[in-house]
Copies of this chain bind each other. A is one copy, B any other.
């Protein structure tokens, strides 16, 4: 039976089946076999090994005749990560087996294989982020103009709209999406350097082999081997860590806004779902929390990858071996959080009447800035600020209405404003500033990007 990530029970809470599949034993081996097949084909193309050998290796690689447990068992004995798989493939390839791994070194295979898995992982993560953006767009269109309390330092600040909150998430995810697109270009390169990055074992046609290999395997061709240059992977996991930070922020915000006292948002809930094993009234935002926990883990893994970048000499297994655990885990746990968050946002419950009630609980306090600027036009900002600090303090202490206290205590200044003017100043609706314009701009920019994107996809 497996531990956390692959445990049938805990695995529901960390990661997704789709992403575990990308990094499981079968895919690990298959990615290596694919690298060996492409390598052989490239070498045959250039004339270093016989064409029939390459064909036999390709057939063997795709045969599916491999028993991971057997290969693993052989690995235990000899303590070389790759040789058991080389041997298995060579056996399957018959005579051509002698050409398996020709001119190559272990890290050529493990690195290129890992990049193939990363490619598959990015093909899951990138659309998942785009789906979150799409859902947020839909929810923003639906609920965007709802006024609610803006909260800073945990306290009511001024009114905002739900749309402003959601649109900022859209923007942040959009920037991550672009960061990942940039990463993808850098990171999806093959590794082929031979023992020391010189490809000396390939002979004079080495560069031609490299070009053919990269073309066949569908990855970029690096100027030089990156055995000891792990910045591309460091950046990748850093960006995953940043995505996690944003996802965590979203999850925690939904969870906090679902608190008993605030209760403005809620994650969706199955009809049969039970909130607590002991408290019947509970409606715990458990998806939010579980997702946020996963994000903490992903964030925490970034520092490991930055340390890996420092490895010594031409190749340093004591560093790069870290990647074999960290990269799969970062993708698996992050994808769990992405899927959880998709569920949360897709089925987000919104309670407008609670938002309105909460806007009112400070009896005008949330509009104290608006009133201050109403006065400031005649009194100057400093005087107006001093007066309103006094008013807000007294209103707060007595839990009284802000305007009432203002009228009572500072009649000299309120004489300048009509009752209607004062009423207008304390209406949250009148103090939303540019919220709606900002939201519209972000939505229309997204609409533009979508159109461009789909046009670009059509062209392909």
Contact = CB atoms under 8 A, between A and B. Distances in A.
A172 B301 contact: no
Interface in A221-253: 223-224, 226-229, 231-232, 234-235, 238, 241-242, 244-246, 248-249, 251-253
Given A12-B76, A231-B245, A380-B98, A314 B157 contact: yes
A401 interface: no
Contacts of A339: none
A140 to B, nearest CB: 12
Contacts of A194: 158, 278, 433
A144 interface: no
Interface stretch (A127-135, A360-368, A409-417, A450-458): A360-368
Contacts of A68: 1, 8-9
Interface string A254-286: 011011111000000010111111111111111
A114 to B, nearest CB: 11
A75 interface: yes
Interface stretch (A24-32, A56-64, A212-220): A24-32
A33 interface: no
Contacts of A202: 433
Nearest to A71: B9
Contacts of A421: none
Contacts of A273: 78-80
A249 B300 contact: no
A122 interface: no
A449 interface: no
